[in-house]
Amino acid sequence: MTKFPENFFWGGATAANQYEGGYNEGGRGLAATDVTTGATKDSPRRRTYILPDGTTGATSKVGERIPEQARSAILDGYYYPNHTGTDFYHHYQEDIALFAEMGFKMFRMSIAWPRIYPHGNDPEPNPEGIAFYHKVFDELRKYKIEPLVTISHYDDPLTLEEELGGWENRRTIEYYERYCQTLFKEYQDDVQYWLTFNEINSATMISSFIPDYPKELDRAGYRVLHNKFVASAKVTQYAHTHYPKLKIGCMIAGLFSYPLTCDPKDVLANQQKMQNYFYYAGDVMVRGTYPAFAKKMWRQLGLDEAFFQQDTDILKAGRVDFFSYSYYSTSCHTTHEGAKKDGGGNLSLGYYNEYIPYSEWGWGMDPDGLRISLNEIYDRYQVPIMVVENGLGAVDKLENGQVHDPYRIDYMRAHVQAMAQAIDDGVDLIAYTPWGCIDLVSASTGEMRKRYGMIYVDLNDQGQGTLDRFRKDSFYWYKKCIESNGEDLD
């Protein structure tokens, strides 16, 4: 079996909105996730709001916007799981000690923008927020764990979204730049590796789940994505100029897919999906320029090419240093009538693949797909790669302080083997940070019962529990995997 390189970054990944909690402590402002309820895989998360006349309400389907006159609001009678997450805010010392016990070399976390700039456009950063992350980084340093920090992971300040129109307004780029400049200045000695946006390509994905998604909202998604590319490029260039030792990466949702059949029409359909859903973002962020196929896409969507070509120099000057992506599952695409739809993996919806098993949440499990994707990405971009999310969301049972999770170990073992094979193929893979290394709130459903962690957190979907932490069987398995640098996978 191929050896993982020495200094390989074994670790785990989290995000503030799903993990940190303390939503109303330390001067933190609100994010959209704070006004979004819990749900299940069969019922959508809902955004709650209040109208000027005092009536209240909640959205009823994914992608639905709140009424024009309404303001998002936290309402009585609803449960908001992200308010607590799994309470890293009050448990960071205990949790980091557990990560160190597993042998982590890297810990992926995000900084909550509303903890640093509570409204996004405040004149000064919030000192309590700044101090909190200093304490976290000090704790990581104690155990020689390298932080990998996502600057924006699904928790933009709500004020920016509601008062400025969020990323559709280019002033948001300036507020983001200021936020990043604050972070680089404050934490330049603590954090070397940064990711500008989590799953940046998710900005244009909603239309793929909702068949009648309004065309204008779809078009807006592409403009939002462009503004985020510009923001990312600007801060990447800024970091390169002012803090040359910092490394900035992209983070793209790994929406990999196959043609369902070898019908060339299916192959073409799949190629177009891959271009649109994945390479569109990768090409801009790594190559610094829109790919050739973009022009036709804009034309077909009724978008004005000039809008996308106005920042050519900025995109070119702000190319990232490394590539990172999330990888959970794959899907298939076809032009054939009557094919069976799959349950939808991470941000994707396609057709059922008879060659792979599916999780309880309908996500296809495909370790070979990880190897394939690593090869594809490396062939195309030739920059170091990090797999910064991967894992199995499953229901775990805590009994007598123990959790037996052989299904998670099987999933992880197969994916670690696939990474070893990709390294053997020649891929420059430098990090693996499986998702939700400690249980946290699911992004898509807001559930706690969909657990990814190797550390169990006692909290249920009604917000009840002690928040105590327990080592699962996978904790000991991963510890052994790290200790042996990926060789002992039994």
Q: What is the dihedral of CA 376, 382, 386, 388, to 10 degrees?
A: -50
In sequence order, the β-bridge partners of residue 394 are: 451
Residues 181-210 within binding reach of ligand BG6 (CB under 6 A): 198-199
If one asks whether residue 326 binds ligand BG6 (CB under 6 A), the answer comes out as yes
- Among residues 146, 389, 447, 487, the one annotated as catalytic is 389
Structure token pair of residue 480: 């052994």
In the complex with ligand BG6, the residue whose CB is nearer, 143 or 407, is 407
Contact, 107 vs 190, CB < 8 A? no
Q: Which of 450, 469, 471, 472 binds ligand BG6 (CB under 6 A)?
A: 450
In sequence order, the β-bridge partners of residue 57 are: 49
- Among residues 20, 139, 146, 199, the one annotated as catalytic is 199
Choices 47-55, 123-131, 288-296, 438-446; region in contact with ligand BG6 by CB under 6 A: 438-446
Output the smallest distance, CB 434 to ligand BG6, in A.
11
Contact, 486 vs 9, CB < 8 A? no
Instruction: Output the CA–CA distances (angstroms, integers) from residue 375 to 191, 266, 379, 451, in the order listed.
Output: 28, 22, 6, 29
Output the smallest distance, CB 287 to ligand BG6, in A.
23
Amino acid 418 reads A
Q: Which of 56, 207, 271, 444 binds ligand BG6 (CB under 6 A)?
A: 444
Structure token pair of residue 171: 């002033």
Contact, 454 vs 442, CB < 8 A? no
In the complex with ligand BG6, the residue whose CB is nearer, 164 or 388, is 388
DSSP output for 424-462:
HHT--EEEE--BTSB----TTT--SSSB--SEEE---TT
Choices 86-94, 104-112, 368-376, 436-444; region in contact with ligand BG6 by CB under 6 A: 436-444
Choices 28-36, 117-125, 420-428, 442-450; region in contact with ligand BG6 by CB under 6 A: 442-450
Please give the backbone phi and psi of residue 281, each rounded to the nearest 5 degrees, phi first.
-75, -45
Q: Which of 435, 456, 470, 475 binds ligand BG6 (CB under 6 A)?
A: 435
DSSP output for 358-413:
B-TTS-B--HHHHHHHHHHHHHHH-S-EEEEE----B----BTTBB--HHHHHHHH
Q: Which residues contact 50 (CB under 8 A, 6 or more apart)?
A: 56, 57, 70, 71, 73, 75
If one asks whether residue 393 binds ligand BG6 (CB under 6 A), the answer comes out as yes
Output the smallest distance, CB 480 to ligand BG6, in A.
25
Active site residue 389: yes
Output the smallest distance, CB 17 to ligand BG6, in A.
8
In the complex with ligand BG6, the residue whose CB is nearer, 326 or 373, is 326
Helix (H, G, I), strand (E, B) or coil at 200: helix
Output the smallest distance, CB 150 to ligand BG6, in A.
9
In the complex with ligand BG6, the residue whose CB is nearer, 83 or 316, is 83
Active site residue 199: yes
Residues 250-309 within binding reach of ligand BG6 (CB under 6 A): 253
Residues in contact with ligand BG6, total (CB under 6 A)?
15
- Closest chain position to ligand BG6 (CB): 444
- Give the Cα separation of 151 and 148 in Å (integer): 10
- The binding track of 329-368 with respect to ligand BG6, each residue x by CB under 6 A or -, is -----------------xx---------------------
In the complex with ligand BG6, the residue whose CB is nearer, 31 or 347, is 347
Residues noted as catalytic? 199, 389
Residues that bind ligand BG6 (CB under 6 A): 15, 18, 198-199, 253, 326, 346-347, 389, 393, 435, 442-444, 450
